[in-house]
Amino acid sequence: MAQGFTVWLTGLPASGKSAIATHLEESLLERGLDVERLDEGEIRTEWLPTLGFDKGEGDGATRLVGHVCHLLSRNGVIAVAATVSPSQEIRNELRSLIGRFVEVFVNRPVEDCEKLDETGNYERARKGELKGFTGVDAAYEAPVNPEIVLETDKEEVEQCTNKVLRTLELLDWIPKVAGSDYNEEEEAKITKRLKDLGYI
């Protein structure tokens, strides 16, 4: 069995996590790998429409996604999670649980997120219809030491996805693809980051 792992995309609502997760899933599938995408938004809609956004329910959503990633990862599947997951403590807890875990901070200024939001959730939160909504009346704890930072206000989805793929290749968690088109400067940055973290 191949060794599974989890790519954990965390960031404010509407920061661009889902788009990157979808593109990353497609890229990994194209490489013939077993992958499942866990999107908090889809899970809330399709599995648990009653789940709210306050602290307790938000933490529950994070743990739920994390535990499912754990079950998949330990059965050889690559789990790609897209979840706000605002709590550093819970992200750390899930990292310990899962082991092979790459934390990806999807970083976009909250004003941009709010402008780009298509769910109407920021607006509902501003009106007080949603309580404890991250980015409006609850804090997002930016990752202290993530493996990857993606600036989605400056980088395209394709470029973000490639950074993640290249990181996974350098970690030797996925096979290297010959002739991939990576930017040299970025490549050096990723390598330095992984060295700093003691991975390579």
Candidate list 3, 31, 67, 175; residue touching its own copies; CB under 8 A: 67
Could you list the active site residues? 85
Residue 29 lies near its own copies (rule: CB under 8 A): no
Q: Which residue has the tokens 């790609």?
A: 80
**54 or 187: whose CB is closer to its own copies?**
54
Total residues interacting with its own copies, rule: CB under 8 A:
22
**83 or 107: whose CB is closer to its own copies?**
83
Separation CA 14–CA 19 (nearest Å): 10
Q: What would you measure as the largest C-alpha separation in the chain, in angstroms?
A: 52
Residue 24 lies near its own copies (rule: CB under 8 A): no
**Beta strand residue intervals within 43-179, DSSP E:** 78-82, 101-107, 148-151
Candidate list 14, 20, 33, 77; residue touching its own copies; CB under 8 A: 77
Partners of residue 106 on adjacent β-strands: 150
> What is the rounded end-to-end Cα distance, in angstroms, of the chain?
24
Cβ of residue 198: shortest distance to its own copies, in angstroms?
A: 30
Residue 46 lies near its own copies (rule: CB under 8 A): yes
Residue 56 lies near its own copies (rule: CB under 8 A): yes
Cβ of residue 200: shortest distance to its own copies, in angstroms?
A: 29
Separation CA 107–CA 138 (nearest Å): 17
Candidate list 19, 51, 90, 116; residue touching its own copies; CB under 8 A: 51
Residue 200 lies near its own copies (rule: CB under 8 A): no
Residue 72 lies near its own copies (rule: CB under 8 A): yes
Q: Which residue has the tokens 């991975």?
A: 199
Cβ of residue 46: shortest distance to its own copies, in angstroms?
A: 7
**36 or 187: whose CB is closer to its own copies?**
36
Residue 8: CB atoms within 10 Å = 30
Q: Residues 151, 99, 82, 88: what is their CA dihedral angle, to the nearest 10 degrees?
A: -70
Q: Which residue has the tokens 């788009």?
A: 19
